[in-house]
Structure 1
Amino acid sequence: MDNATWLIVGLGNPGAKYARNRHNVGHMVVQAAASQEKASFSRHKAGAQVATVRLGMLPGGRPGPAVHLAYLDSYMNVSGKPVAALMNFYKIDPAHLLVIHDEMDIDEHLLRLKQGGGEGGHNGLKSISQALGTKDYCRLRFGVGRPPGRMDPADYVLSDFPAKSRVDLEITINEAVEVITQIVSNGFAQAQQDLHTR
């Protein structure tokens, strides 16, 4: 257990038009995490909305580590610069950056954790890796599944979840918040093992 501060960035696009898109699950998760802690977001000069909370418990019942929850004011494909600026401001090591993003290579409503590795064609991750000069940060991959038939993948991720999957969506968002709490309380490796052996 390391009592380090984490920066947790939920990827997405700004504005009401995109708010419920599959591409915006990152925003949904950090907003749900802040809401559970009754914390509100405020504008940060890095070009982001940030809420600072304490998550989980340390031994002896002390409040868990500080966590900066953030979503960006910029579009997905230019996520790198504000993320790098936030890391610089809060003095966060890449090992304590968790990026939450939609993932078409994972079935809908499944969660997976990954550290480092490729970006799988995800423009938000590409921008972050480029700005940081490393791919060695943590990701919480939120499965949105593959587009049906010949639907364009870009159109698919920029469309809303269908009404029939709203309940599953809320459940998965709450599970994602739990996973975040486990990461900051028990460390990434332990949280990853727990999630992947469920």
Structure 2
Amino acid sequence: MSNWIIAGLGNPGSQYEHTRHNVGYWWLDQLASELGQSFKTESRFNGQLIQFTTPEHKIWLVKPLTFMNRSGQSVSALANFYKVPPENILVIHDELDLPAGVARLKRGGGHGGHNGLRDIISQLGSKEFLRCRIGIDHPGNSKQVADYVLSKPSAVDRENIMASIDNSRRVLPDVLAGNLEKAMNWLHSQ
């Protein structure tokens, strides 16, 4: 049985709940709802957690409560405690370089200016974790990015984002089974 961490990135607090930067939380909330489970705050991991088991895997869902730029504290504490290697960590995050409604999977790579990824790479000492990038579109001007990610998407964009979350959740069994290429082929054709 392999151990996995699925981390959805976002910022805690009701003022951030519906903002673009919180799509990682949205993703995990959808999965938790499907599982019929609720997140519980675990202070030693600086996050809200759900743990569940499938016949092949023990899986921890985590929503770091450290704010985006300290996400790595939560993810690394959980990974170190349960001996989960970076290769078995899936991080779900917002992606400015993809249109709303598009989701992409990849392993490794840089942080692309994303402070949550930057901190996870720093805290884990590895870039080799999986990423599920949920497109939120770009405001068009780099000076507007901070305000943009912390604002609510339009109704149409939110609908598109939720569709991409559904699509990316659909390939989770393949991702966990090590069939990343199969998962990518399907997801990237949506």
Check whether TM > 0.5.
yes
* Residue in 1 that maps onto 2:150: 158
Change (3 A) 1:68 1:104: same
Q: Distance in 1 between the 2:53 and 2:163 partners?
A: 22
Query: Is 1:104 paired with 2:102?
Result: no
Q: 1:122-161 counterparts in 2 under 5 A?
A: 122-148=114-140, 152-161=144-153
Q: Distance in 1 between the 2:58 and 2:164 partners?
A: 23
Query: Is 1:10 paired with 2:2?
Result: no
**Deviation for aligned residue 1:167:** 2.7
Q: 1:9-88 counterparts in 2 under 5 A?
A: 9-44=7-42, 45-54=44-53, 63-88=55-80
Name stretches of at least 5 consecutive residues in structure 2 with no aligned partner. Answer: none
List 4+ stretches of structure 1 deviating above 4 A: 148-151
Q: Distance in 2 between the 1:196 and 1:163 partners?
A: 23
Q: Distance in 2 between the 1:170 and 1:64 partners?
A: 28
Q: Distance in 1 between the 2:58 and 2:142 partners?
A: 44
Q: Match of 1:35, SS?
A: helix
Change (3 A) 1:149 1:93: closer
Q: Identity, % of aligned pairs?
A: 39
RMSD: 1.8
Q: Distance in 2 between the 1:127 and 1:37 partners?
A: 29
**Deviation for aligned residue 1:150:** 7.3
Count residues with an aligned counterpart.
Answer: 189
The AA in structure 2 aligned to 1:180 is L
Post-superposition CA distance 1:73-119 (Å, at most 9, x none)? 11000111111101012210000000000001111110101111111
* Residue in 1 that maps onto 2:86: 94
Q: Match of 2:137, SS?
A: coil
* Residue in 2 that maps onto 1:60: none
**Deviation for aligned residue 1:151:** 6.2
TM normalised by structure 2 equals 0.91
Post-superposition CA distance 1:120-140 (Å, at most 9, x none)? 100000001011111111100
Post-superposition CA distance 1:9-60 (Å, at most 9, x none)? 00010011001111000000011111101011112221111112246xxxxx
Higher relative contact order (CA 8 A, sep 6+): 1
Name stretches of at least 5 consecutive residues in structure 1 with no aligned partner. Answer: 56-62
* Residue in 1 that maps onto 2:172: 180
Post-superposition CA distance 1:162-195 (Å, at most 9, x none)? 1233332332222222132331145333322332
Q: Is the 8 A contact 2:5 2:90 kept in 1?
A: yes
